[in-house]
Each structure stands twice: as C-alpha cells, then as structure tokens.
Amino acid sequence: MVAIRVAGLVKSFKVKLAVDGISFEVPRGQVCALLGPNGAGKTTTIQCLLGLTLPTDGTIEVLGHDVVKDRSAAIARTNFAASYTAFPWRLRVREILRVYAGLYDVADHRTAVARSIELFGLEELSHQPFQSLSSGQQTLVNLAKALINAPELLILDEPTASLDPENAFQARTVLRQVADETGMTIFITSHNMREVEKVADRVLFLSAGEIVADAAPTQLREQFRAEDLEEVFLTVARESRR
Amino acid sequence: MNRRRVWAVVLQNWYVMRRSPIRIFELFYWPVIEVVLWGFISVFLVGADANIPGGVGVLLGAVLLWDLMFRSQQELTITQLIDMWDRNIVNLYASPMRQSEYLTGALVFSVVRVMVGTTFLVVIADWWFGFDLLSVGAVLVPALVTLSLFGWALGLTIRAAVMRFGTNAEVLAWSMAFLLQPVSAVFYPVSVLPEWLQAIALALPTSHVFEAMRAFLASGEVHTGGLIIAFVGSLVYLGLAALVARWTYGRVRQLGLLAKPGY
C-alpha cells in the first residue's frame, strides 16, 4: 500500500523551475525525510502534496486520491504542521484544537482534543491564549493539531525548527511512538540532520528540483562515504552549487 | 458540503470575537455614531421645515439599510482578513476544508452579526428618534434581502482580491462600499446625479432599493419593477462574484500564494 505516489511532478513559477519532474512513492508506515539545501524545492513539493499549490505537470496521489482532482478526500486522513504557520492569536489552545477537530471532521472532538493535549503535555497551557506562548510552545500546539484526526499520513515542514533540544526530543519521541503504534506514515523536511537520522527510515535528497539520492540514512552514509547525514548533506549541497 | 467543517469555521469566528473586545465594540460603535448623527440631522431638518419627500424618516431609513449592506460586505471580508493577520490561513487551507465550506461558515457568522447589529440600530433609531423601520412597509423585506445579496457579492469580490494580492488589498474592505455610496442614491434621488453617473447608478441594485424606499415613504407606492431589477441584479452580481472567487482560488493555487501568508 502506498501513502504518497508522485509521478513526473513539475512546478514552475514564471521563470523559476522549482521542481523538475520528480517521481517517488512512500509506502504506508514509512518515515520518509525530504532533505535538501534552501531553494531545492522541498516546501514546493510539500505544498503540492497538500494541494495548496497546483503542479505544472505530473500527478500526485495521497492515500489513493488524486490531490488535484479530489483534494478534500485526499487530505481528509492527512495532517500537516510547519514552523511558519500559526493560529488565531487570541484563541486558547483548547479552542484551537476544538476548531481543527471540526475542520478535520473528527466526530468525537472531546476525546481527540484531550488526547492531543496529553500527547504533547499541554495540559497546563490548554487554557492559555496562543499569543502568550513561547515559540517552542506554539510549535508543540502545531504538532498537537497535526495529530488531532489521528492521521494516516502526517506531512511536516521543518516541524521542530524553533524547539529547544528537550522539546525537540519530546516531539520526536511522540511522533515516532504514534507512527509505530498506528502505522502512520510521516513525510518530513528538516535541516536538523541528527533528527532525521533518528526518526527517518528513508531519505530523499532534493537538489535544484531533482531527486539526487534516495536511500536509508545508513545506506546514504555508505554511498557518500560520510560519517553522518550532515556530511552527506554538505556534499550534495556543494555538488548542486557547481 | 461538510456541516462539521462549516460549524468549525463558525466556531472559530465566535471564539475570535469572544476573545476580542474590539470585534464586539465595532459591532455597535460606528453604526450607532451614524444613526445618532443622521438622527440629529433629521431633527434639525424637521425644525427647519425642510421639504423632504417622504419626510425626514427617509434619512434614518437610508442609514439603517445602507449599514446592513455595508456590514454584510465587511463581515464577510474581515473573517478572512483575521485569518491572514493571524497567519492561520496556511493551516486552514492545508486542512480538508473546501473553499465553499470556509465561505459558508463565514457567511453564517456574518449573517448573525449583521442581524444583531441591525436589530440594535433599529431599537436605537426607534427609541431615540422615533423612527420605526417597519414604516418602510412592503419595501422592507425585498430591501433587506437585496442589499444583503449585494453586500455578499462585494464581500466575495474583496475576499478574492485579498486572496490574490494579500493584505495589500485589505483597504478595499473599508473603502469599496464608500466608493459606491455616492452612486447608490442612498440619501438623494438618482435624478440629482449628472447623466453619466446616473447610468452607473442604475446599474447598481442599491440605487433601485433606495429609490423604492423613498417612493414608498413619500406616497405609499411600491415600486415593484425597481425592486425586481434590484433583486435580479444582486443575484447576477453575486453569481459573477462567485465566478471571480472560484477563478481566483485556482489562480492563487497555480501561483503558490496560499502558502505565503500575507504575501
């Protein structure tokens, strides 16, 4: 079973080619990381997966649904978190989760909200307005929202960018635990190579809109004769600049 | 259309309003100022024995009905602007919520706010200045429906502009209705306008509604033809606005603008 199927995805913006005909499949249950230097096309790929941006060419299937033709059905069992998004500033954490439970069509919103709050240890913050939280706490709320509908596919765009090491560890642990327990697929972009090495089963390296490597983290280290993923990243980034 | 998602949009707007004193304050402040201002102008004109066809109640009736149209437009637009200001828009559009559900939720919330605000103004106008909106008689219901539809058409168009051009276009939420006010015959008949402006005025449903209101207050005559033109015109404008909104939604997805909050 495939969670994500991308075939010949091209996205161009006027003069800029952001994604240049990439194809890949992510099997269900896999934690797949999409890595690459700034401007490689990671966020554009994620936006296309979510149907926020329409592809110039190619097809995208999410959980068996064509994202362009049937976006709402494709995204219904998916969720998303990114470091650059926020929520209505005056809303309490519990209210935010209640609203998003509705948007994701969760029937038992009380249980879902309580579960998300518990998973990320947000009990003490649940009655605080979003604007009063630190950026790290806001990120945790974003992640709690991302699990509100017990998604089968979780798409994360640099989700832990503003977290301190302890909170990042907690977030990683929760996400990995939920993925192991439920078989949830995770598709993640990150610039934190240690994080990727810890959570990802597979890494796709994107450079100048093309996939230049696709393997498990250990295989990539061997392939590039590198000590860790960071060295792999640097090698790929430098090659792409030449 | 998924009712749970529509309700979630309504609920979010309710939470935002409940937590935002300014959203409650603005519901009453400007409209009350308008009614009080025009109420005293009316009192002055009565004292000066001014000859106004339909009596001075015409001015207060016009203020109340214009406010309904303006609010219908503004409420629909502001619900979207708040999501942009709060950078909530990416999370919203990344959810399975359809554009139609977002719009319907905003519309339901807007209608409730407009009803509350208008009822308050009607009570103020009656209590302070003795003007009963029901005196508009048979014109009242068609006027309310037509002006609401036209307000939604404007609101939808401005939402599309905000979606395409980001918060650069937010000024339209406050200015668009005032641009149309001089040619909407709100306080004076279309006949006082120069000919070229009369052509524009007659193309707007608002001018037909206010002409019908004045005619009824002056002679008790119902301008059925004008009201039908206004109603059908509003439906046409609403249909066009829906097409513009739909096209714009596709266009901003092509341009990748949905994921750039505020642009």
- Which of A69, A99, A106 to substitute to test the interface with B, most B CBs within 10 Å? A99
Q: B-side interface with A, Cβ within 8 Å?
A: 2, 4-5, 7-9, 11-12, 15-16, 19-20, 82-83, 86-88, 90-98, 250, 253-256, 258-259, 261
- Which of B95, B163, B251, B260 to substitute to test the interface with A, most A CBs within 10 Å? B95
Question: What's the pLDDT band for B34 if we cut at 50, 70, 90?
Answer: confident
3-class DSSP state of A59: strand
Phi, psi of B19 (to 5 degrees): -95, 0
SS (H, E, C) A7-45: EEEEEEECCEEEEEEEEEEEECCCEEEEECCCCCCHHHH
pLDDT in tens, A205-215: 998 888 988 99
The Cα A11–Cα A65 span in angstroms is 20
Does residue B29 carry a pLDDT above 80? yes
- Which of B12, B85, B98 to substitute to test the interface with A, most A CBs within 10 Å? B12
Comparison of pLDDT for B52 and B256, the residue scoring more: B256
Res A236: pLDDT: 79
Closest-CA distance, B150 to chain A, in angstroms, reads: 29
Distances (CA, A) of B186 to A87, B97, B119, B197, B212: 40, 38, 20, 14, 11
Q: What is the ipTM metric for this complex?
A: 0.91
Does residue B233 carry a pLDDT above 90? yes
Cβ distance of B97 and A90 shorter than 8 Å: no
Does residue A231 carry a pLDDT above 90? no
Cβ distance of B258 and A54 shorter than 8 Å: no
Dihedral sign of CA atoms B162, B166, B172, B174 in order: positive
Chain B residues within 8 A of A129 when measuring between CB atoms: 19
Cβ distance of A99 and B8 shorter than 8 Å: yes
Chain B residues within 8 A of A104 when measuring between CB atoms: 95-96
Residue for token digits 């600049």? A241
Res B251: pLDDT: 93
Burial class, B45, CB count within 10 angstroms (exposed 0-12 / middle 13-18 / buried 19+): middle
Question: What's the pLDDT band for B54 if we cut at 50, 70, 90?
Answer: low
For residues A10 and A20, the answer to whether their CB atoms sit within 8 Å is yes
Res A133: pLDDT: 93
Sheet of strand A65-66, all strands in order from the earlier edge strand to the far edge: A16-27, A2-13, A57-62, A65-66
The predicted model gives A74-82 an average pLDDT of 93
